[in-house]
Structure 1
Amino acid sequence: MTETTPAPNAEDIVAGKCPVSHFAAEFNPFDEDYQQDPYPVFKSVREQEPVFYSPEIDYWIVSRYEDIIEIFKDTESYSASEAGVMITPPCPAAMDVLVEANFVPSTMLVDEDAPLHPKRRRVFRKGLNDNKVAELEPYTRRFVSQCLDAIVKNGRADMVGDMTFSVPALTAFILMGVPEAEVERVRGYAARFALWLWGRPTDEQQVALAGDYAAYLQYAREHVDKLAENPGEDYMSNVIKAWQKDGNDEVWDKTYLASIMQSHLYASHETTTNAAASGFKSLLENRDQWEAICADPSLIPGAVHEILRYQSSVPTWRRITTKPVRLGDYDLPAGSRVMMLTGSANHDDAKFEDGETFDITRENADEHLAFGWGVHLCLGQGLARMEMRVMLEETTKRLPHLRLVEDQEWTYSPNTSFRGPDHVRVEWDASQNPLPEDRP
């Protein structure tokens, strides 16, 4: 009879009674090298220690595609409630700002479990279906064209500052029913909040971000009040109409509606900004593939999926155990915090052949986990893909000779969960623009 060795106990490892591996001791998602490029770390842990405990951030780290899918599947053992917990709790001065704004903590759909989550999701899904995305596409195309109009004769641009930051924000405003007259005001709130939720901001940064957050929240409350009085056909109006139906008081309240208005605006904005920016960077670094989509725009939808797989704008996500579980070689008690390296899963050779290679013709690229999986699959995935597709369609048509500025510095917001370059600086010979009207 073969004798088996009991699995190490999680509490023993956390208490330091079991040997601590190299990865457990060294893994730090806030390290500068990791921030610049986490994928070498992902590859090492995936191949050598796919599950381990990180004392640096007090999370169990999971890196393989198959294991992460199992966590997403098992909604009874792994709660989504950890997804929205701030990595760094607000300092007292930041809390004072939030208290002054009458901030009341609320969930954000991504961190909800059954039975409320499926009830709310059904309503949200109706407001963001394929027909709605198709309705928004002409607006997105107009916004992209306006961005290109502003830069096409210049010969130099920052694709983030000049396009990928503004287009998703403007599209989200239309989706959420923000009147055109209020767009300029709301654009001032369209800051990047990833550092606030998933980073380690200094106290000074926290206070500034808390101020932005409070102003954004105040606008969200005002907007919800206006739509409650005069709802339209936009996403938020559909949610408000559902709230106003008899019997839905236990599912909705105004605090939750304002939270949804705010969180969906910045989430749909920031993730797509990052994904599109990473897309331009990846395509221009792989010049043959940029030239391929310039020559054949029908390749662009597949390229969008490959971008999302190769440089996920959401490289990690979180869960917390609701009961004892077996994870890899370890037995974890209830209340164990788990960080899933979805960016690592997207490079897993067991799922994606030669996963470290960028290939816009990859047949199964659409099986990536950039939008999560299962009951929490991102509702806005179709909208994000449409925005990325339109940005590439219009840019390749008017600036096929675009190239990256050489030796530029790449910087990223220092947080665990949202990733994309702060700038993508490009240049081109404007006298060679294919459209005569675009030449100086």
Structure 2
Amino acid sequence: MSSSPPETVGGARCPVSAVAGRFDPFTPEYQLDPAATLREARASEPVFYSPELDHWVVSRYKDIRTVFQDNRRFSASNALDPITPLSDGAREQLGRYGFAPGPVLVNEDEPLHRRRRRELAPPLAAEEVNKLEGRIRELVTGYVDRFVGRGRADLIDDLLWEVPAIVGLLVAGVPDEDIDRARHYTIKMGMFTWGKASDEHQLEIADQVGRWWELSGELVDRLKRDGGEGWVPTAIDVHRRDPELVNDNHLQNMMMSGLVAAHETTTNAAANALRHLLTQRSPWDALCADPSAIPNAVEECLRYSPSVLCWRRRARTDVEIGGVTIPEGAAVLLVMASGNHDEEVFDEPDTLDITRPNAKRHLTFGIGSHSCIGAPLARLELRIILEELTRRLPHLRLVDGQDFGYLPNASFHGPRHLLVEWDPQANPVAADRG
């Protein structure tokens, strides 16, 4: 396969194919089924230039994997750049808060990345986060207690928005007395990086980001003073041993971006899983009958409807991917949601199969040295949420005709509302019947 590359790296480019011309990650169609919008691309034009985004789009599993693993020819430096350029007003607003974004694990290159990750990863290793299972289960149970006898709920507002925020703060090492205050600031920053907001909305988002930036600095200062256990306290210890490797700016950026990632992506992952399990129903009923199937169901839900649809790289040199030459300096969009539905890797990829033997091969957490450091925590939270809901509300059902409220966002993906109902008198746990 070959394709004539655009004549320039920026600005107007030609030629633009029909596949490329139709691609728009801000449409309702993309929000509802991103993999389907790239089905034709996977079949006939797996790498193309998108004039809508000024990015080269990569849609096939093997090509996405290749780019993720190639740190020599692709840089991670643009991973957190706003995909929609910020207005002057938004930039000025951020400046008033002293917002100073710097490289963190997801957008830094080697050899710095490997050195930092080796020092910062231990608190997020599976054996460490698994020690939190009892506390996370207690937290989920407490939130379910509030609505189990009511017969209706918005699972986002009543469970999935707050629990991952609190868990993220616990893992970060934020003291218990600060959690209630800080969780209100882990706002939907996904719109800042991946959304298509109006100038007015950008100002609103910039104000929220600025406030969270200030509080992140305050929390870091408190942990420096009082000490603690968790991801940020570990980074503070590294900072004291090696202030060049982890400086003050890095600590503040860690607190801010790490908590947003731990919060919003897990909220969306759980909401996507529940939406599709309850829509298709038979997988949900199977999990209620056999909870031992939940761990593999978590992997399949992450494959089928990921909370992070795509990620980015920048070409360090002219490089051929999928038979197409991507020019030096070009931004590259890796659509993992499309790769997760690649027919060459997954049989019947558009079927939600909770027994799928290779479900864990999904690309949702990335591949290679930049793979998601928080994956063990996300898996643990999703498993516990599904275990508790299938145990206590197996007869849960979606409210018909609801609007899930997806926002125009190229990557961070999840419903804003998930309305459910059930008969409280049919609750299997006697104490839940009210």
2:214 maps to what in 1?
218
Does 1:81 pair with 2:86?
no
Q: How far apart in 2 are the matches of 1:105 and 1:319?
A: 18
Distance in 2 between residues matched to 1:20 and 1:213, nearest whole Å = 36
1:242 and 1:14 map into 2 onto residues whose CA distance is 40
* Structure 1 equivalent of residue 290 of structure 2: 296
Q: Is the 8 A contact 2:123 2:129 kept in 1?
A: no
Does the aligned pair in 2 maintain the 1:35–1:412 contact within 8 Å?
yes
Q: Structure 1 residues 14 and 228, CA, compared in 2 at 3 Å: closer, same or farther?
A: closer
TM superposition shift of 1:25: 1.3
TM-score by length of 2: 0.97
CA deviations on 1:116-171 (whole Å, 9 max, x unpaired) are 10011012211111222112211211111111101001100111111111111110
In structure 2, the partner of 1:354 is: 348
Q: Distance in 1 between matches of 2:13 and 2:213?
A: 46
What is the identity, as a one-letter code, of the residue corresponding to 1:426? Answer: V
Matches within 5 A, 1:149-168: 149-168=145-164
Q: Does 1:103 align with 2:95?
A: no
Which piece of structure 1 moves more, 378-387 or 118-127?
A: 118-127
Asked if the contact 2:6–2:14 (Cα under 8 Å) also holds between the matched residues in 1, the reply is no
8 A Cα contact 1:268 1:380, kept in partner: yes
In 2, the alpha carbon distance for the partners of 1:178 and 1:13 equals 44
Match of 1:365 among 352, 359, 366: 359
Superposed structure 1 runs of 4+ greater than 6 Å apart: 12-17
**Which residue of structure 2 lines up, in the alignment, with residue 128 of structure 1?**
124
Distance 1:262 1:358 in 2: 34
* CA distance in 1: counterparts of 2:258 and 2:3, whole angstroms: 41
The 5 Å alignment of 1:12-411 reads 19-245=15-241, 248-411=242-405
* Aligned partner of residue 62 in structure 2, secondary structure: helix
Counterpart CA distance in 1 for 2:243 and 2:425 is 61
Contact 2:343–2:349 (8 Å) recurs in 1: yes
User: Hey, what's the Cα distance between the residues in 1 that align with 2:405 and 2:44?
Assistant: 28
SS at match of 2:106: coil
Deviation of the 1:190 alpha carbon: 2.0
Q: Supply the distance in 2 between the matched residues of 1:321 and 1:395 (Cα, whole angstroms).
A: 44
Instruction: Give the residue type in structure 1 aligned to 2:117.
Output: R
Q: In the alignment, residue 399 of structure 2 is paired with which amino acid?
A: V
Q: Distance in 2 between matches of 1:196 and 1:232?
A: 30
Secondary structure, in 3 states, of the residue corresponding to 1:127? helix
Gap runs ≥5 in structure 1: none
SS at match of 1:277: helix
User: Structure 2: which amino acid aligns with 1:273?
Assistant: T
Structure 1 stretch displaced more, 33-42 or 414-423: 33-42
Helix, strand or coil: the match of 2:149? coil
Task: State whether residues 217 and 252 of structure 2, in contact with CA within 8 Å, keep that contact through their aligned partners in structure 1.
Answer: yes
SS state at 1:81 partner: coil
Deviations 1:322-341 (A, max 9, x none): 01111223222210111111
Which AA in structure 1 matches 2:129? V
| TM-score, scaled relative to structure 1 | 0.95
Following the alignment from structure 2 to structure 1, what is the Cα–Cα distance between the partners of residues 145 and 403? 26
Moved more, 366-375 or 45-54: 45-54
3-state SS of 1:426 partner: strand
Report the Cα distance in structure 2 between the residues aligned to 1:17 and 1:365, rounded to whole angstroms: 38
| Matching residue of 2:413 | 419
**Contact 2:304 2:350 (C-alpha < 8 Å) held by counterparts:** yes
Change (3 A) 1:186 1:350: same
Aligned residues of 2:6 and 2:13 also touching (Cα < 8 A): no
Q: What is the deviation of 1:102?
A: 1.3
When residues 166 and 6 of structure 1 are mapped into structure 2, their CA distance, relative to the original with a 3 A threshold, is closer
CA distance in 2, matches of 1:6, 1:299: 43
8 Å contact from structure 2 (residues 235, 246) kept in 1: no
- What is the deviation of 1:7? 5.6
Question: Could you tell me which amino acid in structure 2 is paired with residue 279 of structure 1?
Answer: A
- The alpha-carbon distance between structure 1 residues 260 and 15, as it changes in their structure 2 partners (threshold 3 A), is closer
- Which is worse superposed, 382-391 or 327-336? 327-336
Percent identical residues: 43
Structure 2: gaps of 5 or more residues: none
Q: Is the 8 A contact 1:231 1:241 kept in 2?
A: no
Which amino acid letter does the alignment assign opposite residue 46 of structure 2? P
TM-align CA RMSD: 1.6
Describe the superposition over 1:40-93 as per-residue Cα deviations: whole angstroms up to 9, x where unpaired. Answer: 212121112111111111111110001111111111101111111111232222
Equivalent AA in structure 2 for residue 29 of structure 1: P
Measure how far apart 1:435 and its partner are: 1.0
Query: Are 1:243 and 1:253, in contact at CA under 8 Å, matched by a contact in 2?
Result: yes
Q: CA 1:114 to 1:21, structure 2 compared with 1: closer, same or farther past 3 Å? A: same
Q: Is the 8 A contact 1:14 1:53 kept in 2?
A: no
How far is 1:37 from its partner?
2.2
Deviation at 1:424, TM superposition (A): 1.1
